[in-house]
């Protein structure tokens, strides 16, 4: 079945609501409107406004309320309308949601999923195209994940909701309209914390996540036409990170390029570069290289194409690695 990324998320949320009466959706305009990106379209009509709840425009209140509900046995799924809107809720997430399991010596769980459209590529205004994943990946007690395609969107949202851990679920907004053939009956049940090898290769490894995975795969296709074989890994989980899959790939290729939309400085690529350098020091044929956004506030819509990694920038890094 040909399905968009957004429709796959909708199907996953619908399945979660059907499977567990304790699953509740909350967010700004998610009910009657169906969400800004229509991810929750028709769900309030089908499940009622006591399970798909339109909230006030108050992110701290959304997360605080959902946290209390999670402590009472519900499984809330909150939608933060845009990535830049999550900051008013940041204190609730890092001070309370992330710490309750540790604070109670494991006696209390918080099965709370927080959906956040993130990244650029749609020509939005300020506060609508950010990449805050490193803030949350740095916080112990949170799982941080991001699908890159419709099949994983359907699978991973259900896995996240079923977990007893709080999950930050980043959705690459520029991929909402990407389409793929998804067989919902036989979908690959890869564990939530496992990376996926999307393209096998031998010359260099490219690790990406979220919206940049499709960019990396385009780069691999161009490289193949030029006689180079790139292995592309979709990270999927940003905390924890599946370093074993990356290490296995780098042991084969001897080279690693990490690509993401967030600025390179102190981004996820830095952690991956450091860990793989430690674990694969004798297998690496060149330094680990990073390709990402620039260390600037997110640029205006007319300039974002220069800010986001594209296949040319990834391939330039691959060329530097191969020349080392």
Catalytic site residues?
128
Q: Are 178 and 214 in contact (CB under 8 A)?
A: yes
- Stated length of the chain: 324
Q: Is 75 helix (H, G, I), strand (E, B) or coil?
A: strand
The residue among 154, 150, 210, 158 whose CA lies nearest residue 181 is 150
d(CA 235, CA 243): 9
* Cα separation values, 80 from 87, 147, 173, Å: 10, 17, 12
d(CA 57, CA 83): 14
Q: Write the DSSP symbol of residue 85.
A: G
d(CA 265, CA 69): 37
Q: Determine the angle formed by the axes of helices 150-162 and 5-19, rounding to 10 degrees.
A: 30
Q: Is 14 helix (H, G, I), strand (E, B) or coil?
A: helix
């Amino acid at each position: 079945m040909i399905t968009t990324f957004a429709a796959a998320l909708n199907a996953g949320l619908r399945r979660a609501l059907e499977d567990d009466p304790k699953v509740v959706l909350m967010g700004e305009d998610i009910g009657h409107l169906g969400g800004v990106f229509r991810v929750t379209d028709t769900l309030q009509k089908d499940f009622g406004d006591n399970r798909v709840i339109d909230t006030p425009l108050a992110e701290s209140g959304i997360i605080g309320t959902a946290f209390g509900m999670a402590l009472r046995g519900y499984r809330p799924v909150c939608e933060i309308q845009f990535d830049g809107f999550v900051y008013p809720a940041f204190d609730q997430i890092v001070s309370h949601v992330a710490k309750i399991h540790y604070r109670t010596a494991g006696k209390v769980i918080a099965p709370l999923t927080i959906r956040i459209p993130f990244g650029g590529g749609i020509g939005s205004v300020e506060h609508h195209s950010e990449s805050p994943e490193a803030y949350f990946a740095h916080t112990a007690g949170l799982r941080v994940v991001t699908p890159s395609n419709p099949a994983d969107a359907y699978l991973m949202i259900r896995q996240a909701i079923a977990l007893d851990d709080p999950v930050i679920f980043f959705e690459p907004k520029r991929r909402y309209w990407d389409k793929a053939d998804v067989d919902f009956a036989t979908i690959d049940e890869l564990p939530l914390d496992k990376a996926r090898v999307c393209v096998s290769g031998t010359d260099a490894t490219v690790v990406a996540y979220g919206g940049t995975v499709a960019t990396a795969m385009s780069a691999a296709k161009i490289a193949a036409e030029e006689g180079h074989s790139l292995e592309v890994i979709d990270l999927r989980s940003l905390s924890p990170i599946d370093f074993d899959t990356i290490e296995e790939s780098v042991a084969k290729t001897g080279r690693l390029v990490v690509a993401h939309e967030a600025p390179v400085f102190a981004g996820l690529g830095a952690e991956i570069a450091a860990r793989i350098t430690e674990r694969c020091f004798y297998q690496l044929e060149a330094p680990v290289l990073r390709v990402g956004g620039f260390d600037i506030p997110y640029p205006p819509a007319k300039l974002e194409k220069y800010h986001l990694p594209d296949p040319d920038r990834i391939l330039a890094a691959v060329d530097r690695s191969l020349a080392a």
